């Protein structure tokens, strides 16, 4: 094992919406194994699949503090995917966690919202809430403590993110960076095939 990916502080991986941190089905695929084999120390956010930004941020906060307690490290590095990036930013700003965070790297995070989600705002509220009810029941069975599909899904909207960005201000004490990519085609990732097709219609090339 080498030290090529060994960092001064542990790394906490924060997943995106609709998934959980399972031991036998890793959200991050081969990434954790590759990093640890090169010396990185990896931990997870372990937040709900469909928790709101506010609720999930509190879970991530507790897990970050737990990592610091276990390792004795002064800070952690955060790597967050999709909505996890918004949750990490909220946690840092609203829960006074900047002193514990060395860096935040977001990957494919909708910092300015999604026009695709804006389209779903036109759905009848009754229908939207009915769908939310069944989604909540399903994900509660999978392990979510407080699933709230109705609220969490609407937190992807451009109007929500516009308000979010005026309130959640990056800390000058933390190193921030953000990455995005484009899927070659809808069959690049079978799990994302349908979302990619839908988003492509409304927003063009995308990595979802």
Report if residue 3 sits inside a domain.
no
Of all residues in the chain, what percent carry a pLDDT higher than 70? 92
- Ramachandran angles phi, psi of 56, nearest 5°: -65, -35
For residues 12 and 200, the model is more confident at: 12
Report if residue 131 sits inside a domain.
yes
pLDDT digit string, tens, across residues 66-91: 999 999 999 999 999 999 999 999 99
pLDDT at residue 42 greater than cutoff 90? yes
What's residue 200's pLDDT? Answer: 67
What's residue 1's pLDDT? Answer: 64
Total structural domains within the chain: 1
Query: CA triplet 190, 194, 198: central angle to 5 degrees?
Result: 145
Report the distance separating Cα 188 and Cα 126, nearest Å. Answer: 35
Among 37, 21, 101, 33, smallest CA distance to 67 is for: 101
Report if residue 178 sits inside a domain.
yes
pLDDT at residue 177 greater than cutoff 60? yes
Report if residue 73 sits inside a domain.
yes
Report if residue 208 sits inside a domain.
no
Q: CA dist 20 to 51, 71, 84, 91, Å?
A: 11, 23, 11, 18
pLDDT at residue 29 greater than cutoff 80? yes
pLDDT digit string, tens, across residues 105-163: 999 999 999 888 888 777 899 999 999 999 999 999 999 999 999 999 999 999 999 99
What's residue 187's pLDDT? Answer: 74
**For the whole model, what pTM was predicted?**
0.90
Strand partners, 13: 44, 79
Report if residue 162 sits inside a domain.
yes
Where helices occur in 75-146 by DSSP H, the ranges are 83-94, 115-120, 125-142
Q: What rounded mean pLDDT belongs to the chain?
A: 91
Cβ neighbour number for residue 179 with a 10 Å cutoff: 12
pLDDT at residue 202 greater than cutoff 70? no
Band of residue 206 on the pLDDT scale cut at 50, 70, 90: low
User: In CATH, what number is assigned to the domain containing residue 100?
Assistant: 3.40.50.1820
Over residues 35-48, the mean pLDDT reads 95
pLDDT at residue 53 greater than cutoff 80? yes
Full domain range(s) for residue 190: 11-203
Residue 105's SS3 state is strand
What's residue 142's pLDDT? Answer: 92
Report if residue 181 sits inside a domain.
yes
What's residue 63's pLDDT? Answer: 97
Report if residue 1 sits inside a domain.
no
């Amino acid at each position: 094992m080498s030290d090529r990916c060994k960092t001064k502080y542990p790394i906490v991986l924060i997943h995106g919406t609709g998934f959980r941190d399972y031991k036998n089905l890793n959200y991050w695929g081969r990434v954790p194994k590759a990093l640890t084999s090169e010396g990185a120390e990896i931990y997870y956010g372990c937040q709900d699949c469909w928790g709101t930004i506010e609720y999930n941020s509190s879970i991530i906060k507790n897990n970050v503090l737990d990592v610091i307690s276990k390792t004795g490290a002064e800070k952690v590095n955060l790597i967050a995917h999709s909505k996890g990036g918004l949750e990490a930013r909220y946690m840092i700003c609203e829960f006074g966690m900047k002193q514990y965070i060395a860096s935040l790297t977001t990957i494919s995070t909708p910092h300015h919202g999604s026009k695709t989600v804006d389209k779903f705002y036109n759905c009848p509220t009754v229908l939207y809430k009915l769908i939310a009810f069944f989604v909540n029941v399903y994900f509660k069975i999978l392990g979510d403590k407080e699933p709230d599909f109705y609220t969490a899904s609407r937190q992807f909207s451009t109007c929500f993110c516009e308000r979010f960005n005026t309130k959640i201000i990056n800390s000058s004490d933390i190193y921030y960076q953000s990455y995005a990519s484009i899927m070659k085609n809808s069959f690049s990732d079978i799990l994302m095939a349908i979302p990619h097709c839908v988003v492509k219609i409304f927003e063009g090339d995308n990595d979802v």
